[in-house]
Chains A and B, each alone.
Chain A
Amino acid sequence: MFDLGPHATFIWATYGAAAMVIGGLITWVILDGRALRETLARLESEGRRRRPVAKPENGN
């Protein structure tokens, strides 16, 4: 391990805080995107199922 001197705790805490904030942002963006894509895919598949089938024209 590095010898970061008497203030090593503050240095490690800084990089730890950065890892937490950056990790949190990345997690938020990925999970949000995944949930949105799933919702959109579900809505689109429901839309395809519900779309009314065109009635055949029989001339009556």
Chain B
Amino acid sequence: MQRFANPNKFMAFSATLMPWLVGATVLLFLAGLYVSFFVAPPDYQQGETVRIMFVHVPSAWLAMMCYGVIALSSFVLLVWRHPLADVSAKAAAPIGAAFTLLALVTGSLWGRPMWGAYWVWDARLTSVLILFFLYIGLIALRRAVDDEALAARLTAILALVGTVILPIIKFSVEWWHTLHQPSSVLKIGGPAVHSSILWPLLVMAVAFICLFLTLHLAAMRNEILRRKIAATRIMRVERAAAHQAQPAE
């Protein structure tokens, strides 16, 4: 892993990996959409609205997974000062925010026909909303500090403090009485979902994970280019200043 710490090696490695990831993502989404609409039967209680789950649940999983990636990258940055760790954390934040927003919107669209309300201040919904605000906070904090190294350390600390939200989201449906249903896939004793609905959900979940990996890798490559541009500009300004400072012969 350490050999990819060099940004140039990472750029070469990711350029090779990217077409495969894009291809896998497209194929998995095509397969996932097919099984979601043509193979999965309507649920005996929720009817056709169960198809909302094939987008909502993977989005919600990714919202948490992406925060996990940011927290891990932040830890690696603070402890080992890995050159790509901050690039990874910075690139993942907008993607995580987008998937959290998608989880909130699709949950709301599922809640209206099932609960009769788009929104309720229940523990699961509220904790996911806090996660969304945390993402926004990470992006805003980074933009508010001009010094790149200081911004990286501050956002890393905030990201690590914010990890407390992950177990709260996961166990909110067990710790409090919520309108949101308890975990039915990732639970002790195995999934409570029928296999005819579980498999389409898992295919869509893998498609979403591949999409995240593709977007994250592409955003990391962009961030490396952004830093290379900034370094080139600084070098040019320094060279011009040194040239002007030379005494005229």
Q: Does B191 contact A (CB under 8 A)?
A: no
- Contact status B102-A17, CB under 8 Å: yes
- Contact status A36-B49, CB under 8 Å: no
- Contact status B59-A11, CB under 8 Å: no
Binds A, one of B72-80, B130-138, B149-157, B214-222: B214-222
**Interface size for chain A: under 10, 10 to 19, 20 to 34, or 35 or more residues?**
20 to 34
Binds A, one of B104-112, B166-174, B181-189: B104-112
Shortest beta-carbon distance from B209 to chain A in Å: 13
Dominant SS at the A interface?
A: helix
Dominant SS at the B interface?
A: helix
Q: Does A13 contact B (CB under 8 A)?
A: yes
State whether A32 and B232 are in contact (beta carbons under 8 Å apart), knowing that A21-B98, A26-B215 are contacts in the complex: no
Which residues of B lie under 8 Å from residue A25 when comparing CB positions? 94-95, 98, 215
- Contact status B106-A33, CB under 8 Å: no
- Contact status A17-B48, CB under 8 Å: no
Q: Does B13 contact A (CB under 8 A)?
A: no
Which residues of B lie under 8 Å from residue A33 when comparing CB positions? 218, 221-222, 225
- Contact status B219-A29, CB under 8 Å: yes
In addition to A10-B49, A36-B229, 15 A-B residue pairs with Cβ atoms within 8 Å of each other are A5-B49, A7-B48, A14-B51, A14-B55, A14-B56, A14-B109, A17-B106, A18-B55, A21-B102, A28-B94, A29-B215, A29-B222, A33-B225, A37-B225, A43-B236
Which A residues are within 8 Å of any B CB, using their own CB? 2, 4-5, 7-8, 10-11, 13-15, 17-18, 21-22, 24-26, 28-30, 32-33, 36-37, 39-40, 43-44, 47
